[in-house]
Amino acid sequence: MPLLQFEELSLYFDVLGEGTPVLLLHGLGSTGRDWESVAPRLTARHRVIIPDARGHGRSGKPPGEYGVPRFARDIAGLCDALGLTRVHVVGLSMGGMMAFQLAADRPELVRSLVIVNSGPELVARTLRRKFEFGLRLTLLKLLGPSALAKVLAPKLFPKPEQEALRQRAVEIFGANDPDAYLRATKGLLGWSVMDRLGGITCPVLVLASDRDYTPVAAKQAYVDLLPNARLQVLSDSGHASPHDQPEKVAEAVEAFLAGVEDAAEDARQPG
């Protein structure tokens, strides 16, 4: 069981395959298992590193405030400890937020980004969003992760044939430490690197599900602010696309990474 020991944190991670490094970062309240149906497709050409974020899964749950900058520093520390440079970073939801923070704080570390159903900020700019954030925090405080999981699972996987995915979501979200999950949730609210997007010059692929919580147009709006980004829509998919459309996600990530690496190889060829 690979663990990286910081002063106050044991950070769990898995490493699969060989080749150029790829980080897979999971969503809020989840674990590296978000990628279990995608990671095997990437291991033929890549060394795939899959951590559990602070407060999640098999990683430690130390006291103190959590948040995207703290999560990103942990992941940067993991990369430094493993001697990784120029890493492809793939993030789902909260993991996409961590990926943006890494690219803004440590541009020399990040070779490319794949952002899956996420964005460069989580700011409640409308009354509806403020209500949604407040409701989630209230449910979490009063009822705990297990009850919240039963609310979230049908939203993530609404189709009758997705019962197994709903049960899996209830299992994973319900297993969270209540205090750590609450601190992690609070730590996301109000976060933003929107004003730093112009400095993120690495290639970026944004994968936007057609049934995600936020519309495709919202993703396109921030894609237009990035110097080297494009958007790809995942059809018949919800927020948790690595679970409901793993083949499409894997195919998109594989093709994007191959394109980034082929372009770099072409640039190294003489005249």
pLDDT along the chain (271 residues), means of 10: 86 96 97 97 96 97 95 97 96 98 98 98 86 85 90 94 96 94 94 97 98 95 97 97 98 98 74 55
Q: Count other Cβ atoms within 10 Å, centred on residue 148.
A: 25
pLDDT at 1: 57
pLDDT at 270: 63
E strand residue ranges, 117-228 = 204-209
Amino acid present at 64: G
Residue 60 DSSP code? -
Residue 264 DSSP code? H
Class of domain 3-122+192-267: alpha beta
The model's pLDDT over 126-165, given as tens digits with 9 standing for 90+, comes to 888 888 888 888 888 888 999 889 989 999 999 999 999 9
In terms of Cα–Cα distance, which of 137, 239, 134, 224 is closest to 184?
A: 137
pLDDT at 154: 95
Helix (H, G, I), strand (E, B) or coil at 111: strand
Helix (H, G, I), strand (E, B) or coil at 100: helix
Cβ partners under 8 Å of residue 100, min gap 6: 91, 113, 115, 118, 119, 120, 193, 200
pLDDT at 135: 83
β-strand partners of 16: 48
Report the alpha-carbon distance of residue 184 to residue 180 in Å, rounded: 6
The model's pLDDT over 97-106, given as tens digits with 9 standing for 90+, comes to 999 999 999 9
pLDDT at 262: 87
The model's pLDDT over 15-37, given as tens digits with 9 standing for 90+, comes to 999 999 999 999 999 999 999 99
DSSP per position, 223-236: HTTSTTEEEEEETT
φ and ψ at residue 105, rounded to 5 degrees: -85, -35
pLDDT at 46: 97
Torsion (CA) 144, 165, 39, 61 in degrees, nearest 10: 10
In terms of Cα–Cα distance, which of 104, 97, 70, 99 is closest to 87?
A: 99
Residue 8 DSSP code? S
